[in-house]
Amino acid sequence: MAITRHEVEEILALDWEELPGLYSSKDTQLYAISIGMGRDPLDSKELSYVCETVGSNVMPTAASVLGTPSIRARRNAMAQLMKKMNLIMMLHGEQRLEIHQPLPSNAKTLLSSGVTGVYDKGKNKGALVTFATKARLDDGSELFTSSSTLFFRADGGFGGTSEGAPVAHELPRRAPDAVCEMPGRNDQALIYALNGDRNPLHRDPTVAKKAGFDKPILHGLCSYGIACHAVLKTLLDYDQQSIKGFDVRFSAPAFPGETQVVEMWRDGNLISFRSTLKERNTVCIDNGRCLLA
């Protein structure tokens, strides 16, 4: 049975439970390695993300995995949604990030998550659902807000509104100001899964084939981190403190081992970007927006 407008309103009205979280340098370093940092063991700038005796830098997009202890709170709202939605027809559409202060390498946090919007695109056009996780340090100061948009292709037409739905960032129409090639690893999905997303679609060939893929696909959030790595490396001299926001729209799955070519355009404190798979000439991340301090 499809979801109703009244049920959507009830889900949006639910309180967000705040729960304690905890992460260490092991978690932030593993994340950095999983998106390609540290391949050159003599590169001190990348080592500052993966070796504590060199530095304590943290990838801003690590927020996408450091907020997972709040999953229980998010499930309270998600569980009601998922009972009514067609999960087989669900796609991860977008990922957004606001950084309120540089991420420390170790932290005790307070995390809350919930549904922020359900948007009706119309019958046979699907519905968009937005979720967010807010993180504070245990002293109460805001740390980050990480949000995602899920596209339920078969669940439109429940009588809701489409107003207020996320709008994609428009890329400049000129040639890119910079281009960076990010070679992949064949085992990259196996490494990235250790951050917490153990979905077998990304590791088990049998599961991937049942889902219609010749082999396991790379996590979309891994490509998200690779794009951030490219921006830091190419335009920001690895200064993670300069990034205040990082948003993308996922447009196609990537496979482990593929080279992601990241095109970048810089306009003041805004960097626009997209990622294309070199081997297939396919855009996997589009409408990228990096906001600088």
Q: What is the pLDDT of residues 20-36, one digit of tens each?
A: 999 999 999 999 999 99
Q: Which of 27, 120, 155, 202 is catalytic?
A: 202
Is position 204 annotated as part of the catalytic site?
no
Q: What is the pLDDT of residue 1?
A: 54
Residues 6+ apart with CB under 8 A from 16: 73, 112, 113, 114, 134
Residue 99 has pLDDT above 60, yes or no: yes
Going by C-alpha positions, the residue among 199, 238, 178 that lies closest to residue 37 is 238
Q: Do domains 5-152 and 178-292 have the same CATH topology?
A: yes
- pLDDT tens-digit readout, 256-266: 999 999 999 99
105-112: average pLDDT: 94
SS3 of 99-155: the string is ECCCCCCCEEEEEEEEEEEEEECCCCCCEEEEEEEEEEECCCCEEEEEEEEEEECCC
Reported as a pLDDT band with limits 50, 70 and 90, residue 5 is: confident
DSSP of 221-259: HHHHHHHHHHHHHHHSTT-GGGEEEEEEEE-S---TTPP
- Collapsed DSSP state (helix, strand, coil) of residue 156: coil
Give the residue-averaged pLDDT of 218-240: 98
**Given pLDDT bands bounded at 50, 70 and 90, which one contains residue 91?**
confident
Domain ranges across the chain: 5-152, 178-292
Work out the average pLDDT over 210-214. 89
**Which listed residue (27, 197, 247, 286) is catalytic?**
197
List pLDDT tens digits, range 126-150. 889 898 999 999 999 999 999 999 8
Phi/psi at 63 (5° precision):
-55, -25
**Residue 253 φ then ψ, to 5°:** -75, 145
Selection from 13, 15, 212, 8 nearest residue 128 by Cα: 8
100 is catalytic: no
62: nearest Cα among 129, 135, 167 = 135
CATH code that applies to domain 5-152: 3.10.129.10
Tokens representing residue 15 in the block: 């309180």
Topology adopted by domain 178-292: Thiol Ester Dehydrase; Chain A (3.10.129)
- Determine the pLDDT at residue 75: 58
Average per-residue pLDDT in the chain? Answer: 91
